[in-house]
Structure 1
Amino acid sequence: MVGTGGPVPTFSVWDYVVFFGTIVGTAGIGLFQAIRSRKESSTEEFLLGGRQMTAIPVAMSLTASFMSGITVIGTPAEAYRFGIAFWLFGFSYAIMSVVTAEIFVPLFYRLGITSAYEYLEMRFSRPIRIIGTSMYIIQTALYTGLVIYAPALALNQITGLDLWGVLVATGVVCIVYCTLGGLKAVIWTDVLQMVIMLAGFVAVIARGAVLKGGLGKIWEDASEGGRLVAFDFDPDPLKRHTFWTIVVGGSIMWVSIYSINQSQVQRYISCKTLGHAKMSLYVNMVGLWTTVSLAMFSGLTMYSVYKDCDPISNGDVATSDQMLPYLVMDILADYPGIPGLFVAAAYSGTLSTVSSSINALVAVTVEDFIFPVFKNLTAKQITWMNMGLSVFFGALCIGMAGVASMMGSVLQAALSIFGMISGPLLGLYLLGMLFRTSNSIGGIVGMLLGLVLTLWVGIGAQLYPPGNDKTNPLSFNTTNCNVKPPTNFTTALPSTSPATLTTLADVRPPLADSWYSLSYLYFSVLGTLVTIVSGLLVSIITGGCKQDKLSSNLFVRRSDLLCFKFRTESKKVYMTEKAARDDNLGVHNSAYTDFDVKMKNLEQISKL
């Protein structure tokens, strides 16, 4: 009987057909884009889609890039365990979209960059650019490993497929269409994957509503179980989720993800005009709202089904991240192909994120490490190099999945990684964009100090997790559990359970219940503020007020704000940059944007 615990069915033949059909279709888009663009093999085409993308597909790609398998698996489990406080991230998404679209996009688009970290050299120095790029590569490899691990765990739970076999297959599929199709393949597969991901949520909610007697009954059960309490205004920074940690901490964290993360920057600068680039972020905001709402309601559906028999307490699943796959097989097994659609949804979210990460890692490696050293590469050499790097980073991300398996809850672990590394980087960018006084010495000292502090608190929190008084898990019961397995079902528990770091509960240091218990959403706030404040102080001490006059193009302008010009300024800027590249770089054509050429043309561009 549904919702009473015990083993659940495994995949049927039709589930496998639907699942593998989706994967083949995804890879087919990459092949199609490779064939379609075979005569346009420049680096700009491979990494930026020729800068001719429009707002809607880019917006869906932006949403899919970080609404990954972690969202499909982890967010409903969050609602099941802690309630709908996570829904408050809708405020964070809105703040992030406005800040990124009106402050960061105009500046990056005006400079005509390919790598987001080119700005750090323009504003500060090459060593800072190298450090920033290296931090991004480490962060992205770790995060992508976690993204690969999440749906592999789900597949292992409900199909019995080997965990590491699924991990490798994920990486291989992404490598294929990233290597062959470049950014266009990534964006258009993201569009398909976003649709499939949302369809998976809808299937779970619809079936749950039928079983429980309507959406109103699900909402009523969630209310009785305390799952609808969202607004906690307690200012305690040690509490995991409150209104302030989510809206303040979450906003800064998501700004650090969307404004300076190469995976996202690469998308909106691929738009053909500044207006399309800005609009893609606002459409993306709606996509984020839709995704998190469906994910949250899927979690409430899960609670309504299992309110009298918690599968975790009953031993039916090993971790909360296996809850949604367990639910799917419990309530949808009678509909062949639908469980396959759900797994395809989780897997699609992963493919979109992994492919985005691989493409972005190739972009920053080429722009920040290879082209400055090897300036005479032919177009053919560059093409083969891009493909080779796609394979290398795909393999690296598969390897990092092993590390990710030791980080506990996939949702919190993923956001913690961004907070620890992206926070100091965001502080560095704001230091350069908003304060003319800041210099290279202040920038590097501020960023490193911010990074040390965020890594200290983040790693400490991983070793000494906060107690229940700070995380506030809600109650469960097993009063209606049926532990006798039906004879026609097979046990679907994972053959490989996720490893977790050992909790050193018996030797907790004094900082464990204070500093290490800081909400993970404040990691980015800490890194950003420490970087800005210390960077400004060091800059003033080291002569930042007396440095040479800097180009106004390197700073945020009032004219950047709320300025939608779809066919004028942004197009002129891009065409001027392209002409400068073509005239000065000869054999490279649009494959490589030379740093000196950009700097010489900044003032000319600003007059357009």
Structure 2
Amino acid sequence: MNSTTIIILILSYFAILILISFLTGKKSDNNTFFKANQQAPWYVVAFGMIGASLSGVTFISIPGWIESSQFSYMQVVLGYIVGYIVIGTVLLPLYYKLNLTSIYTYLEERFGNASYKTGASFFLISRVVGTSFRLFLVANVLQVILFDDLGIQFWQTVTLTVFLIWLYTFKSGIKTIIWTDTLQTLFMLIAIGVTIFYVSDDLGISSGNILGYVLDSDLSKTFFFDDFKSSNYFWKQFISGAFIAIAMTGLDQDMMQKNLTCKSLKDAQKNMFWFTIVLTLVNFVILSLGLLLTVYAQQNGIDAHRDELFPVLAKEYLGIGVFVFFLIGLIAAAYSSADSTLTALTTSFSIDILDIEKKYDVAKQIAIRKRMHIIISFVLIFVIISFKYLIKDESVIAKLLLFAGYTYGPLLGLYAFGLFTTWQIKDKLVPIIAILSPILSYIISFNSLKWFGFDFDFFILILNGSLTFFGLILIRTKHH
């Protein structure tokens, strides 16, 4: 496929997103931007959240994991189910009861201003870095398959990427994103399905036998109970998965902002329930795709591994049909995550850090929100470009989830303490606890591997949250 065709494909894709933005952007105000006027259909939100949860990282990295980790990631996914049940039964009722726009407002009501600002700040750091990881990966792939040949530099690719996201989200924010995410999730799932069909056909597997082939393969080993020190030990991954879901979805403004657009708590819970079922199935399908791609590469003597596996096979070996869908799927996966993040970061910074709802009239609030939307776009561009020189190898999703363990840990500790105790705390000391917990977690994790051979891996989130919780016990004052 030549460069002109790829560019036309990408521009057509964005033209559709901008059209959706135009259609959903009429009579928009801050309530539209932040909460879609609480009129979003739950089933549309549920479907769109699939794409936002998976992102380009999952689309690229998980298939590349099979060679070294088999289906062990499903242990984490099974843990997610438990986490999503907690979100639906504990956190969503709390958020709807308090009628929150930013979920971190809860921390202010429970503990005070310092806790509130700390929670919001950790979210902002987590999301800026997490989204930058995701977009970095996609920008890198686009660079290799297209922009290098055209003489366009990496920083230009990144700037254009973020500008296009800003273009279709600046007016109506979350209201637009609910619909664009639905479309992008659909594109991503079609891309995965088409690739599975083509690869299985090349391997001589009939469509009716794909599931049997996957389950019979040695590469589909899912459960690992042998070595509790290992990073893929079942209970370690299962429990980590539950806490990753609670922290990275339930305590994440980006993911919860979508839930809060539903008309009622009942609708939001329905959304969460169906989202859980579909997400579990989709993760299994993506792992199956990874297995087929790995077998294909091995049988044909192709030297492509980890994050390079899917892009290399799609571009050079599987034909133009697969490559077109790969490209659309990759862009859809990346943007369905990044666009909502840009909106959530704008929401959190405007409401939590700048207090616009408390300090300014409506016209001033809209002006500040628009300015923040632009500033955060520039922050993302800067961070993504800096990653170009910091990331060397290792699967990006592993880095992403590991980093999340350090930044979401304090949020996990704060919410657990707020929900499961009646104690008050010395609010001004919370930032110190929140900064010390990740540092201590890193020291413990590093030395545990060195001295005992015990790999905390994703478990770092639980360690970090526990340290935060115990730190808050030390600064408690009295009962309510």
Q: Which residue of 1 aligns with 2:377?
A: 394
Q: Which residue of 2 aligns with 1:493?
A: none
CA distance in structure 2 between the aligned counterparts of 1:74 and 1:12, rounded to whole angstroms: 25
- Note closer, same or farther for the CA distance 1:304–1:74 as it changes in structure 2 (3 Å cut): same
- Indicate yes or no: 2:292 matched with 1:306: no
Considering fraction of residues, name the structure with more helix. Answer: 2
Q: Which residue of 1 aligns with 2:61?
A: 74
- Note closer, same or farther for the CA distance 1:19–1:517 as it changes in structure 2 (3 Å cut): farther
- Note closer, same or farther for the CA distance 1:66–1:152 as it changes in structure 2 (3 Å cut): same
- Indicate yes or no: 2:224 matched with 1:232: yes
The C-alpha deviation readout for 1:539-596, integer Å capped at 9, x for no partner, is: 2xxx323xxx3xxxxxxxxxxxxxxxxxxxxxxxxxxxxxxxxxxxxxxxxxxxxxxx
**1:284 CA displacement:** 1.2
- Indicate yes or no: 2:400 matched with 1:414: yes
CA distance in structure 2 between the aligned counterparts of 1:423 and 1:310, rounded to whole angstroms: 43
Aligned residues: 470
Amino acid aligned to 1:50: N
CA distance in structure 2 between the aligned counterparts of 1:325 and 1:218, rounded to whole angstroms: 23
- Structure with bigger gyration radius: 1
The C-alpha deviation readout for 1:462-503, integer Å capped at 9, x for no partner, is: xxxxxxxxxxxxxxxxxxxxxxxxxxxxxxxxxxxxxxxxxx
The correspondence for 1:113, drawn from 97, 100, 122, is 100
CA distance in structure 2 between the aligned counterparts of 1:208 and 1:230, rounded to whole angstroms: 22
- Indicate yes or no: 2:478 matched with 1:544: yes
The correspondence for 1:521, drawn from 443, 455, 458, is 458
Amino acid aligned to 1:530: L
After superposition, the CA RMSD in angstroms is: 2.5
The correspondence for 2:186, drawn from 166, 180, 195, is 195
Describe how 1:448-459 pairs up with structure 2 within 5 A. 448-456=435-443
- Note closer, same or farther for the CA distance 1:287–1:11 as it changes in structure 2 (3 Å cut): farther
Q: Which residue of 2 aligns with 1:90?
A: 77
Report SS of the residue matched to 1:544: strand
**1:217 CA displacement:** 7.1
- Note closer, same or farther for the CA distance 1:392–1:272 as it changes in structure 2 (3 Å cut): same
Describe how 1:128-207 pairs up with structure 2 within 5 A. 128-161=115-148, 162=152, 163-207=154-198
- Note closer, same or farther for the CA distance 1:515–1:47 as it changes in structure 2 (3 Å cut): farther
Kept in 1: contact 2:64–2:294 (CA 8 A): no
**1:138 CA displacement:** 1.1
Kept in 1: contact 2:91–2:250 (CA 8 A): yes
**1:192 CA displacement:** 0.4
The C-alpha deviation readout for 1:350-377, integer Å capped at 9, x for no partner, is: 1111111111111111111223696233
The C-alpha deviation readout for 1:8-27, integer Å capped at 9, x for no partner, is: xx556545443332222122
The correspondence for 1:327, drawn from 292, 313, 318, is 313
**1:309 CA displacement:** 5.0
Q: TM-score, normalised by structure 1?
A: 0.72
Amino acid aligned to 2:307: D
The correspondence for 2:366, drawn from 383, 400, 409, is 383
**1:436 CA displacement:** 0.3
Describe how 1:448-597 pairs up with structure 2 within 5 A. 448-456=435-443, 513-514=450-451, 518-539=455-476, 543-545=477-479, 549=480
**1:424 CA displacement:** 1.9
Structure 1 gap segments, 5+ residues each: 1-9, 461-509, 550-608
- Indicate yes or no: 2:33 matched with 1:46: yes
Kept in 2: contact 1:157–1:322 (CA 8 A): no
CA distance in structure 2 between the aligned counterparts of 1:363 and 1:153, rounded to whole angstroms: 28
Report SS of the residue matched to 1:180: coil
The correspondence for 1:362, drawn from 309, 322, 346, is 346
The C-alpha deviation readout for 1:399-445, integer Å capped at 9, x for no partner, is: 11134342342111111121111122111101011100242458556
**1:175 CA displacement:** 0.7
Instruction: Give every structure 1 segment of 4 or more consecutive aligned residues whose post-TM-superposition deviation is greater than 6 Å.
Output: none
CA distance in structure 2 between the aligned counterparts of 1:457 and 1:264, rounded to whole angstroms: 30
Amino acid aligned to 2:22: L
**1:302 CA displacement:** 0.7
Kept in 2: contact 1:15–1:341 (CA 8 A): no
Amino acid aligned to 2:92: V
Kept in 2: contact 1:143–1:414 (CA 8 A): yes
**1:182 CA displacement:** 1.3
The correspondence for 2:355, drawn from 368, 371, 376, is 371
Q: Which residue of 1 aligns with 2:423?
A: 437
- Note closer, same or farther for the CA distance 1:274–1:323 as it changes in structure 2 (3 Å cut): same
**1:114 CA displacement:** 1.0
Kept in 1: contact 2:147–2:157 (CA 8 A): no
Of all paired residues, the percent bearing the same amino acid is 20
- Note closer, same or farther for the CA distance 1:328–1:109 as it changes in structure 2 (3 Å cut): same
- Indicate yes or no: 2:398 matched with 1:425: no
Structure 2 gap segments, 5+ residues each: none
- Note closer, same or farther for the CA distance 1:129–1:137 as it changes in structure 2 (3 Å cut): same
CA distance in structure 2 between the aligned counterparts of 1:446 and 1:129, rounded to whole angstroms: 14
- Note closer, same or farther for the CA distance 1:160–1:309 as it changes in structure 2 (3 Å cut): farther
CA distance in structure 2 between the aligned counterparts of 1:453 and 1:534, rounded to whole angstroms: 11
Report SS of the residue matched to 2:423: coil
Report SS of the residue matched to 1:359: helix
Describe how 1:93-104 pairs up with structure 2 within 5 A. 93-104=80-91
Q: TM-score, normalised by structure 2?
A: 0.91
- Note closer, same or farther for the CA distance 1:309–1:150 as it changes in structure 2 (3 Å cut): same
CA distance in structure 1 between the aligned counterparts of 2:375 and 2:74, rounded to whole angstroms: 37
Q: Which moved more, 1:435-444 or 1:395-404?
A: 435-444
**1:75 CA displacement:** 1.0
- Note closer, same or farther for the CA distance 1:532–1:73 as it changes in structure 2 (3 Å cut): same
The C-alpha deviation readout for 1:439-459, integer Å capped at 9, x for no partner, is: 24585565344222234467x
Kept in 2: contact 1:109–1:274 (CA 8 A): yes
CA distance in structure 1 between the aligned counterparts of 2:215 and 2:147, rounded to whole angstroms: 31
Amino acid aligned to 1:232: F
Amino acid aligned to 2:78: F
Amino acid aligned to 1:146: F
CA distance in structure 1 between the aligned counterparts of 2:461 and 2:13, rounded to whole angstroms: 36
The correspondence for 1:346, drawn from 326, 330, 341, is 330
CA distance in structure 1 between the aligned counterparts of 2:168 and 2:266, rounded to whole angstroms: 29
Amino acid aligned to 2:156: G
**1:281 CA displacement:** 0.9
- Note closer, same or farther for the CA distance 1:25–1:217 as it changes in structure 2 (3 Å cut): closer
CA distance in structure 2 between the aligned counterparts of 1:51 and 1:418, rounded to whole angstroms: 29
CA distance in structure 1 between the aligned counterparts of 2:318 and 2:4, rounded to whole angstroms: 14
The C-alpha deviation readout for 1:72-93, integer Å capped at 9, x for no partner, is: 1111111233211112233122
- Note closer, same or farther for the CA distance 1:135–1:213 as it changes in structure 2 (3 Å cut): same
CA distance in structure 2 between the aligned counterparts of 1:258 and 1:192, rounded to whole angstroms: 21
CA distance in structure 1 between the aligned counterparts of 2:72 and 2:80, rounded to whole angstroms: 14
